Structures are given as structure tokens and as C-alpha cells.
Structure 1
């Protein structure tokens, strides 16, 4: 008997989903790109539950007839490719014919479409890869695709999805990338009925789309770049060195209107800016490259995010030359051609930009000169916040504008930021004083830093779903009656969090084990705080419902560890912070209390 067998179409589609449908953002990207390939002038994306519960993508494109509506659900069925040579001259976003059948295989999928002038439309329904159900529908213009309960029939994949807020950020970023590439198309993204990203078509002024996508504060800093060479045209906009970001996420590069992340392109952009930006800062750049389709291979990545150039060096040199020409001209100073700017004036401009950055940082964060913090300025560790009044969450969306130094570091620190710090001492038994790159003074809240790291640990324990593990920890606690009742009803939630709590008669409870990091906590204080933070009976015990309980655990774990942090543990903690996700909120979210450049210190010492 043969050991090799042909896979079923259903299994093939689910395997393809593992490559193409990584998360809700992948679904939105593929379907919005299909809308653009269909000639849509307006694309609307409606989401619920971060996209995991429901996604609806509607457009006003040319739609499909019944035969095509059914055929598009078959793997490798596409209208965009016929012959092998067509791969060398692609003008469409999609071309493999894998996305729609892969999406339909892992969701409850509905397609409603009609061709222009049709008397009747088509509705096709597929549930988890089952045979399609085809029926008549009203002849609405364009196409509407609804994707519900993504990954409902692949629980292993669903388990790896992040919080709804995190998935929503990825969806927003996916739409922004497409919107930047197509300023001639109107986009509307909404979540739970509330607008998330709205931008009307602006073909005559792409900077309006950039401002809508990346923040209105960038608009006055944008300047055009242009470079035309044989086979390569570079157009776009760069922000002046006054406007920078902590990460390279503000670098958007498009090849033939396709968003790509190419290391060579990013490296060329960073090289162009290296003489103009402070250490640890990144530029904001939106570049559009038009190249001969025969000289670029777009079929090298499952999500089509990478390309391969036949003449990479020529493309990279064109990008470098385009940006360098604009930066050397310093148009934000009001000068004209590059030769009108002398080196002394450029150096003076750079010093003025740094000075303006320091002034804005002081006014935005402190409302004036930045005082050194004291222990009295920080919230007491012994008075945890009540469960009903958590700190305001980090707002979803883009990072704060340039000059808001501390919020950026507490929401999206640059890669390697914490590992590069050199600890120098402790202030007020709580604040860690460090030397940052370039002689910067950095003050950290040790409690908040530990809280952030432990929160990540407890999230991982929850994701693994192993429940309590045997340990040497054990104690019995007498609790008030309301607390005891809450713990009785929340034992399943406590087990999901890694705590083994059992009734011990009356209102006494035995705490038999706790997750690593909570050894040595005050058991009574921990259980009383958790009783108020547990979700109501019947709630789904996922990371969203257990978020407040996780914050309570992280705060108590940090309270114990902060008092006995050794030098080796501090170095390890800084490494953990570089790997931490700063999107989930903590009870004490401000890790970086102060960051003061050497230039400001020298000015104060005069």
C-alpha cells in the first residue's frame, strides 16, 4: 500500500491559509487589494472584535458574474495571470489565486457581487471550507465580502492571536500601507461602528493622504524627492530632520504601487539621513519607485512583502541620491538649490533643530524645565489601585508626534533601547539612574519596569494554558466573606492564571501554588486584589477578560522583586524590556521617568 496520498482540497486550502492568512490584517490586505484590482474608487472596511469576530470589505469595483464568483473560490483560479511570461509584467496586486479559498477555509465566508447592469446579483456562502452555497441576491454595484469567526475551525491558529486591540492596530497598518500607495482611492475603516481611519481620494496632493495616515503634524515637515534614471523613477516625500520617530516604522517604500520591506531600500534611506539625525532616531519617508516590471521579481514572499531586483545596486543608488539631494538643499530653511547652502549654515540648522526638540520635549512632558523626580512624586507601591479605576490605557493608533519623548519611550521604545543603558545607581529606593547613548541621563521606575516584564511572563503562562504547576509555595489565608465568595466563583479563572486556590473550610482558602515571580508576595493582599479583578461568571477566560487580573499579579510581583534587585537581575530585566510588548497597559505604565540629553545638562550647568 502506498504511503503517499493526495491531499484533499480542504486540507490544501487550510495549509495555504497558514501561509497567506496570518491574522485579520492579512485577510484585509488580500481583500482590499482585490478591490483595487477590480477598479474600485471607494473601499470600506468594517470590523468587530479586532477583525477576529467579523470583517466586511465592500467596494464599488466592476464586480463579478456568477461563474466567476464561484470560480474564485477554487485554488489557483485567477483573472490576473494566464501564462508564465505574465509574471514578468504584473500590473495587479494579486496573482496566485490562493487568498479567497484560503480565507473561506478558515472562516464563515460570504461573497455578494454583481456586474454593472446585471439584473440579479450573486451571493456565495462557504462555512469553513465546505462546498459553496450559491443563490440570487440584489444586484448591488461592486463586491461585498464578509468574513466571520476567523480561525474558528483551526483552534491552534486562533490560540496564537493577540488581543483585539493589537490585531486592530495590525489591520489599520495594513490599510494605511495600501492607502498610501493609492491616494486616488477613498478609504474608510471603522471598528464597532466608530471610524478608525478615513481619507477621501486626493490624487492631486498625496501629502494629504500621508497626513491622514501618519498624523496631521507631519504635513508641514514633508518635502518632495525625485530621481529619474534609466529604468528607475523615485518619487515621494521625506520629512525634515526635525521630525523623527523612535523606530523605522515610519519608512514606507512602494515598488510599482506595491508596499515592500526591502533591507537594501531601508539601508539606503538610513544612510541618506545618518548625518542629520540624533542617535536612536529614525526618519519618516514615503517613497514610490517605478521600475520596469521585467527587472523586479514580486513572487518571492508568501505575503508579497518582499521583491528581488535584477539591478539592486542601481535602485538603491537612485534612492540614496534622491534623498541626499533634498537633505543637502535643506528646503525647510527656505533655500533653493543645493549649492545655495553652505556647511556652516547646515551645522547651525542642525543645532537649532536639536534645541527646538529639547524645548518641545520640556513643554510637552513637564510644562516647563524638567525637574529631577523624587520618591514623593511616584505613586505608593503599598496602595494598589482599585480594580474599578485602572490607569487610562495607551491610546490605540500611531505613536505621538516628534518631541513627545517620554510617551514614545513608554509606548514604543526603539529596538535595543534598554539594553544599551548603563546603570549608575538608585535614587530614592525606587528610581534607577542610567547613562544612555551619547551621554543621555535616563531615569527608570524600577517597579514599573519589573511590572512590565512580569506582565509579559504572566501573559505567556496564560497563552500556554498549562494551569497551575506544583510548587513548594503553600499557605492558608482567612478572608472576608465577600472576598471568599468571589474567589469561589472565580476558581476557574484563577487556575487559568496559574494559581491553585482551594477552600479550606469557612472563609479560609489554601493557596497551594502561584506562577513563577509571585513567590514571597503577601497572599492575603494578592487574593483580595484578585477577587476584585476577576471577570464575572460566564465570561470567556481569555487575555481580554483576564487583563485586569494579570495587571494585579504583575504589580504584586514587581512589589516583591523591586526591593531586592541585584546588578545581574537588573541587566537581565533591561534585556526583558527590549523584548517586551508595550501595548498592554500596566498599573504603573511609566517605565522611563526622565530622559535628558547631554546638551540640556550642559546648559543647566552654565
Structure 2
């Protein structure tokens, strides 16, 4: 008796759905890509229940006639391929003809479409991959695809779905990836009737799409990248090293405008940034790699998230060259100013150039940094604080901090400093005990003091009185939604905000020290730092929000300190707690003992 039997078609479709349809985000990705292949200029996505209850994707593409509307729900029926050789010249997003039948097999699926200028449209309904029902429908522009009760007939897979909020984040990320690749298309995503992501078409300025998708605070840090070689074009935008992220989620790479996660591409980008970013930080990059279709295989992953290059080394080298060339030009510092220009930018250019030259020269000549004097060489009256350990064969980086002074400074250390002047329009140069040269970052110092102030207000439960300070702020939709859900936390922080219609908010009161902060930048930054819904709004849950407030409070005053204010700040630093982390924790940028200065002067 035979042991092997062919599976039924309906079971094959449900198994295939496991490769194509992992979660609601997979459904949205496939349906939106179909809309783009249909030439849509506007794509709208409406969700309920995180996408598990209902997904509606509508577009203004060219639509379908009745015959195509029925055929598109048959497995391996597609308009993108005719012969096997066509795989070498693919320009469409989809091509296998599996997505729609796989989605229909695990949901209640409805397709409503019509060809341009048609007098009647078509509606096709499928439930669980069976019972295809076709009927006439009113004509419309483009296509509407509705997916309800996803995985209702596969409970074993449904139980592995996350909470609605988690699934919603995956959906939003899926749309953002597609939207970044197509700034010429308008996108509107809503959940439960509330906007989630909205971005009009902006083909002339793709940075507007990046700002809408990844946050408006990144916009001033974006700079274009371009590298062209035979059969290869690399374009896009990268953020300056001043804007970093804790993970590599901000690296978006597209091959022929298809989002991919390729280890080689990510590695090349990270190597390009390695001289510019501190340990543990990652860049924000939106990069487009365009190659001849026959030079890349897109048919190597079920979700088409990976590709294989015919010349992977050449592609990775070109990406690395594009990143390095842009970073070495330091565009975020602006052009070197002429006589009488901004000395701060000129000083930064000069400091970077000197640092790179000395580091390379020292490594090439000695292979290790010059030795610092030991404690045995110092007079009894001079207390040396050892510098942070430096890896063998590598010179200390510019601005490397002394961890001991930034984690547990000796009692009275800061009050004993004597301010002498300002370096580069930013750093405070001071004389320490025994003639020690000390360089401070006043922004980090103010941030540390303000963080303690805000912690104290939170612990004491004091609410700032209403003030004359007040303004109305228009925010992006995600930020507005986060603030609406976090008003209780904001009140505990001493920030009084009220909805003012749409995505506008009235900011009525802030704690002392934040009166001069940019209200829009402050509220948008706080929207990312507030604890998630359901988290107790205590000092632990509000720690990141307190750090954001301290950073914005420091921005308003660190560049205009008077001598009296600086001396008062130094006194406050001695009383500050250095254990809570700040966004800019490096207060002491440099400390050089007198012996080291004398040795270098010989």
C-alpha cells in the first residue's frame, strides 16, 4: 500500500501561506507591493485589531478586468512572468503569483476592482481559500483588497501572534520600508480610524519622506550620497555622526528599490562609519543600490528580503566608498568658512584633520600611543587620574573622556577649577589643582545638573505653577498619539499639554529650566521617551523622559553662560549624583597633568 499521497490543493495553499504570510505585516507588504506594481500613485491602508481583525488596502492603480480578478487568486498565476528567463530581468515587486492565494487561504478575502473607464467592476470573495464567489460591482478607480479574520482557520498559527500593539508596529515598519523606496507615491495608514502614518508624494525631495517616516529630528542631519560605477549606481541619504541610534534598525538598504537585509551591505555601511561613531552606536542610512536586473537574483528568499549579487564584492566596495567619501567631506560641519566666518566650524574641521593625521602617523611610526607619565614620576602634591584604557596599537580618540571623573569625581573637584576661556565656541578650558589642564563640556555639565533638578521635582511631586509661557505645537501623527496616551506621565514631569484639535497641542507649563526650549522638538522627543501604556509612571519608567528634558534644558543655556553662572554650575556639579546616565554623560573631556604638558614642551 502506498505511503505517499499528494496533498490537497487547499492544504498546499495553507502551507505555502506560512512562507508568504507570517503576520499582518506580511499581508500589508504583499498587498501594497501589488498596488505599486499596478501603477498606483496613492495607497491607503486601514487596519483594525493590529491587522488581525481587518486589513483594507486601496489604490488608484490600473485595476483589473473580471478574468484577471479571478485568475489572480489561482496559485502561480501572475502577469509578471511568462518564461523562466524573465527572472533575469525582473523590475516588479511580485512575480511568483503566490501571495494572493496564500492570503485568501488563511482569511476571509474580498477583491473589488475595475479597469479604467469600465462601466462595471468586479467583486471576488473567498473564504479560507474555498468557495470563490464572483459578482458585478460598482466601477471604481483602482483596486480595494480586504482581509478579515486573518488565520481564523489556522488556530495553531493564530496563537503565535503578538499583542495588537506589537503587530501594529510591524505593519508600520513594513509600510515605512516601502514608502522610503517610493517617495513619488502618497501613503496613508490608519488604525481604528486614527492616522498612523501619512506622507504625501515628494519625488523632488526624498528627505521629506525620510523625515516623515523616521522622525523630523533627523532631517537637518541628512546628507546625500552618490557613487556610480559601470552597471552600478548608489544613491540615498545618510545621517551625520552627530545623529546615532542604539541599534542597526536605522539602516535601510534597497536593491532596485526592493528593501533587503543583506549582511554584506550592512557590514560595508558599518565599516564606513567605524571611525566616526562611538562604541555601541549605529548610523541612520537610507541607501539605494541599483544594478542591472540580470546582475542580482531576487528569488532566493520566501519574502524576497534577501538577494544574491553576481559581483557582491564590487557592490560592497562601492557602498563603502560612497559612505567614506561623504563622511570624510564632513558636510555636517559646512564648508570651511572664509576670513571672519564661523570659527566654531573652522575649529571643528581643524581638530578632525589634526586628529586623523596624528593617529595615523603615530600608529604607522610607533604602533602604540605615547606613554603617559606614571604616578611615581609625579610630585607628591600632584594627583594623577589615569586615563581611560586605550587598546594597544591605537591612539586615544579625540574627545576621549576620563571615566573616573565622569562617574565618581573626587569631592570638591569642580569647585576647585579656575575657568580660563572657551575653546572652539563650545568647550570650557579650566586650570585644576597643581596646574592641571581640564577641558569641560558645559552642555553635559548643565545636563547633569538639570537631570538632578528634574529628579527632585518628580520625587517631591511638585507641579510648576501656570506661567506666561505657552504655545501651540503641530506634531506628526505618531508623536501626537504617544502624547495623548502619555498625558498622565507628562503631568508628573511638570509638563502641562492639552489637545488643540487634530495633531496640535497647547503647551501651557514646563518645569523651571525648560522655558527657552524649542517646544516642538521637546514634545516630539518626549513622545519617543514616554513609558509604554500600562507601565507605572514612576522614576524608573520616566528615566528616559527625564534625560530628554535635561538635554533640552541644557541646549538653551550651555552656549551663553556668564562667568558667575559657570562658577555656580561648577559648585552644583560637586553636589550632583553622577550615577544616573545622561544623554551626554561626558563632562570632563580632557585632563592633562602639568608633567605631561612639560614633557610635550621639551
TM range (shorter): 0.5 to 0.7
- Compute the displacement of 1:277 (Å): 1.1
TM-score (norm 2): 0.63
Name 1:509's counterpart in structure 2.
none
Aligned position for 1:595: 581
Aligned-residue offset at 1:17: 0.9
2:231 matches 1:210:
no
Find the counterpart in structure 1 of residue 87 from structure 2: 87
Give 1:298's aligned residue. 298
1:601 to partner: Cα distance = 5.3
| Mapped contact 1:358–1:403 kept (Cα < 8 A) | no
Q: Which residue of 2 aligns with 1:260?
A: 260
Are the aligned partners of 2:444 and 2:587 in contact in 1 as well (CA < 8 Å)? no
Per the alignment, residue 370 of structure 1 pairs with: 451
The answer to whether the 8 A contact 2:236-2:286 is kept is: yes
SS at match of 1:370: helix
How far residue 599 of structure 1 moved from its aligned partner, in angstroms, is 2.5
Residues 333 and 349, structure 2, Cα contact 8 Å, conserved in 1? no
How far has the Cα of 1:354 moved from its partner? 11
Which residue does the alignment assign to 1:155?
A: 155
3-state secondary structure, aligned to 2:43 = strand
Distance (whole Å) between structure 1 residues aligned to residue 84 and residue 264 of structure 2: 28
Cα distance, 1:591 vs. partner?
7.0
Structure 1 vs Structure 2 CA RMSD: 3.8
The aligned runs of 1:21-420 (5 Å cut-off) are: 21-335=21-335, 344-346=351-353, 369-371=450-452
Cross-structure match for 1:519: none
1:581-592 alignment to 2 at 5 Å? Answer: 589-590=541-542
Does the Cα contact within 8 Å between 1:246 and 1:408 map onto a contact in 2? no
Tell me the secondary structure at the aligned position of residue 131 of structure 2: coil
Aligned-partner SS, 1:589: coil
C-alpha distance 408-114 of structure 1, shift in aligned 2 (>3 A): closer
Name stretches of at least 5 consecutive residues in structure 2 with no aligned partner.
338-345, 357-397, 400-423, 429-439, 462-486, 492-519, 548-579, 594-602
Change (3 A) 1:327 1:110: same
Note the C-alpha offset of 1:133.
0.4
- Output one character per residue of 1:213-236: Cα deviation in whole Å (capped at 9) or x when no partner: 111111111111100011110000
Per-residue deviation at 1:589? 2.8
CA distance in 1, matches of 2:204, 2:82: 34
Q: Distance in 1 between matches of 2:490 and 2:266?
A: 35
**Aligned-pair CA distance for 1:345:** 3.9
**2 CA distance for matches of 1:127 and 1:307?**
34
Instruction: Name the TM-score, length of structure 1 as normaliser.
Output: 0.63
Contact 1:329 1:335 (C-alpha < 8 Å) held by counterparts = no
Compared with structure 1, are the counterparts of its residues 595 and 254 closer, same or farther at alpha carbon in structure 2 (3 Å cutoff)? same
Cα distance between partner residues in 1 of 2:208 and 2:525? 26
Give secondary structure in 1 for the equivalent of 2:201. coil
* Counterpart Cα distance in 2 of 1:377 and 1:391: 10
Residues 87, 354 of structure 1: CA spacing in aligned structure 2 closer, same or farther, 3 A cutoff?
A: farther
Distance in 2 between residues matched to 1:19 and 1:392, nearest whole Å = 43
